[in-house]
Amino acid sequence: MIIIKINLFKKIKFKNLANSINFKLIAVVVVIVSISFFSLVYILNLQISRELKAETHYSNLKLAESLAREVDKFLAASEKSLNRVAADYGIRSNNQVSLVAKRKFQEELENYQYFQTMFYLSKSGNFTVVSKSKTKISQVKGAQTWLDQAQKSQKEASFWTAAHLDLSNQQYTISLIKPVFDYSNKFIGIIGANLDTVNLSQIIKWELGKQGYVYLIAGDGKMIAHTRTELLQQRLSLADYLDLQKLFQTDKIVKFNYQNQSMLASHKNLARIPGAVIVQLPEKQAYQLINKLKQLIIVSGLVILLILIILLFTYIRYSLVKPILSLEKKLQQVEQGNFEVEFNLARQDELGVLAVGFNNLMQKLRLLITNLDNLSVEIDLSSSSIKQSALEITTSTADNQTVFSQVKSGAKFQADNINQVHQKIKNLASYIADLQTAKQNLTKSSAKMNQNTEKGRLSSSDVKEQMLKIKEKISQIADDIKDLNILSENIDAIIDIINSISQQTNLLALNASIEAARAGQAGRGFSVVAEEIRGLAEESKNSAAQIANLIKQIKKGTEQASKNMEFGKSELNIGLEKVSANAAIFLQIKNSLNEVNNSVIKSGELAKNIDQNTKDILNNMNNIAAISQENTSLAAVAEAKGSHQLAEAKGIKEQSENLQDIIAKLQNVLTRL
């Protein structure tokens, strides 16, 4: 129970604190100052970070340039050393070159620290190799390729090779190759040397913190020197981590990821070989100073922020909050009924004006309370009188309202009946109008039917005349067919005669042939004529047979045509009878249509008279409906005014009662004041 009370007390205290002006003031000051402070810190931090990053890159770039110069000096000295060996008389004289080269290589390796291995390869393929490791070596990988390259170029200038594994196959190195010519300028071989990457690593050795490195890469990214020489045996290549083409084309700092760690690299390209000196730092280490400076700025800013907040709060509390709290206490006294209080504040600012206004307000409140006390008594007397009058008006208005309601109901019933009759008469007028329209359409249709009937009758007469003409032509064709049939029979007789002549001619030709045979050689000419005559007789016989067949077909066709003509004449007679009957029917239809037209004309006149009477009735009904509607409207207006008057009377009564309640409350307030 005690814990619950404590928690409740804490909630109430916190709620009061959150609503207090002190809390709000602190919150506003903290927010404004914090926003200003953090904006300033962000701008400073951004600017300082940008400047420090630029300075870091500039320092690394300068370091890379300085080391690149040292590396170029080392490479130049290496070239000078190899050129000195290649210019030796004993080698160029091409007399015991291997012994001379071996002696010169040993002197060079002992006196100078440029090379790890030196070798001579003759044009014939003889190798002479000397190494600091004292290991016996018979050949150098890639030397044959370099020999071919020098022999093709036929130039005395030395050249640097690409990165390759050294003789131990444990790390990368590069070689310097010098073509050798004898005193007659004849190519005899090459002298080469592998750089001493340990000494080269000592040149670029530089302390860059725990994880900062300086290393040298060849043009293909392979690492040939490093501040930590043990890392060379890992045979690292920077091409595995970033784009070398972009690296060599820019002088800006490059960011890449190495072993899950972000690295920053600045570089300087070398002048004598394809490659560059790389200064590499972890991003965290490079920007470690920036982070420390950020922390310092934030801590200092927080301290300054806290001091500013305290000073601002103290000033605002004593200059603004304290007078407002004093005014709050004065208002609490007024709330308790003490209107004699005054707020005295000798200041010329807005709070001073507020104090003067408060005192003037209290003076006017005291005067107002006195006037309200006197006025409430007078209003109470007037309210009682108004209430009595409103009660009388309400009673009278209710009686009038009943009468108006009855008048309105009667007028409404009458108007409804008139509207129903008016609507039925309108419907009747509509039916009559439709009847007149139908009559007009029927008249037009009847006239068209008369015209069509007359046309049909005339057409029947024309058809009958045409059919008579056809019948006459058919009779003539039938007579012609009979004549043709007679001619065909005559042609048959002629064909019989032709056949008889053909048979006799054939017999005569046969007899002539017999006689010609008896005559011998003298009758051969007559025999030929007899054969020709017999041939003609056979052709005549065949032609007569063909003509006979044709005549039979013609006779058969004419007989069938004769039958068809007879059938057509009988059908034509039937058609003439039907056309005559149709003409009589058309005449009857025309007479019937004339009678229908007369009846339609009479019905149209009757419908016109009925329509005129209906219009007169409609005008009278409209007048009656208008009068009835006016009566209904007047009754509705009277009822509405009665209702309004009754409502106003009730409102006056209610307002008088409310006024009495207000007066009672006002008197109660004045009593409390």
pLDDT tens track for 13-69 = 445 555 566 666 677 777 777 787 777 767 766 766 677 667 777 888 888 899 999
- Provide the 3-class DSSP secondary structure of residue 159: strand
Phi and psi (nearest 5°) for 95? -120, 115
Angle, CA 514 vertex, CA 508 and CA 518 arms, to 5°:
140
Task: Please determine, looking at this structure, whether the domain spanning 351-466+606-672 carries the CATH number 2.60.90.
Answer: no
Tokens of 555: 């006779």
Instruction: Look at the chain and count its residues.
Output: 673
Tell me the C-alpha distance between 467 and 377, whole Å. 128
Is the pLDDT assigned to residue 6 strictly greater than 70?
A: no
Is the pLDDT assigned to residue 139 strictly greater than 80?
A: no
| Amino acid letter, residue 301 | G
**What is the average per-residue pLDDT within 194-221?**
86
Tokens of 479: 């007579």
**Least confident span in 128-132, 306-310, 441-445, 541-545:** 441-445
In our burial notation (b when 16+ CB lie closer than 10 A, e otherwise), range 313-347 reads: beebeeeebebeeebeebeeeeeeeeeeeebebee
> What is the model's pLDDT at position 1?
46
**Least confident span in 332-341, 346-355, 421-430:** 421-430
> What is the model's pLDDT at position 288?
64
**What is the average per-residue pLDDT within 71-96?**
87
257, β-bridge pairs: 262
Tell me the C-alpha distance between 605 and 477, whole Å. 62
Tokens of 600: 């339609």
Tokens of 415: 């108007």
Torsional sign, CA 77, 78, 82, 83 = negative
Domain with CATH 1.10.287.950 in the chain: 480-581
Q: What is the pLDDT of residues 584-610, one digit of tens each?
A: 776 776 676 677 667 667 766 766 776
Share the mean pLDDT of the chain: 76
**At which residue do the structure tokens 């962000």 appear?**
42
| Amino acid letter, residue 357 | G
In sequence order, which residues have a C-beta less than 8 Å from that of residue 394 and are 6 or more positions away? 646, 649, 650, 653
Is the pLDDT assigned to residue 82 strictly greater than 70?
A: yes
How does residue 192 score in pLDDT terms, banded at 50, 70 and 90?
very high
| Amino acid letter, residue 322 | K
Tell me the C-alpha distance between 453 and 583, whole Å. 9
Smallest CA-to-CA distance from 149 within 138, 140, 160 is with 160
CATH topology for 47-297 is Beta-Lactamase (3.30.450)
> What is the model's pLDDT at position 72?
93
Phi and psi (nearest 5°) for 254? -115, 135
In sequence order, which residues have a C-beta less than 8 Å from that of residue 164 and are 6 or more positions away? 141, 142, 172, 173, 174, 175
User: What does the DSSP 8-state code read for residue 141?
Assistant: T
Most confidently modeled range among 5-19, 235-249, 544-558: 235-249
> What is the model's pLDDT at position 176?
93
Tell me the C-alpha distance between 437 and 428, whole Å. 14
> What is the model's pLDDT at position 669?
64
Distances (CA, A) of 264 to 62, 218, 287: 15, 19, 10
Q: State the burial class of residue 537 (Cβ atoms within 10 Å of its Cβ: 0-12, 13-18, 19+).
A: buried
Domain with CATH 3.30.450.20 in the chain: 47-297
What's the 3-state SS for 14-48? HHHHHHCHHHHHHHHHHHHHHHHHHHHHHHHHHHH
| Amino acid letter, residue 178 | K
Tell me the C-alpha distance between 509 and 533, whole Å. 6
Tell me the C-alpha distance between 283 and 137, whole Å. 45
> What is the model's pLDDT at position 277?
92
128, β-bridge pairs: 120
> What is the model's pLDDT at position 3?
47
**At which residue do the structure tokens 């420090």 appear?**
52
Torsional sign, CA 264, 198, 273, 139 = negative
CATH topology for 480-581 is Helix Hairpins (1.10.287)
Tell me the C-alpha distance between 51 and 279, whole Å. 19
> What is the model's pLDDT at position 306?
81
Is the pLDDT assigned to residue 74 strictly greater than 60?
A: yes
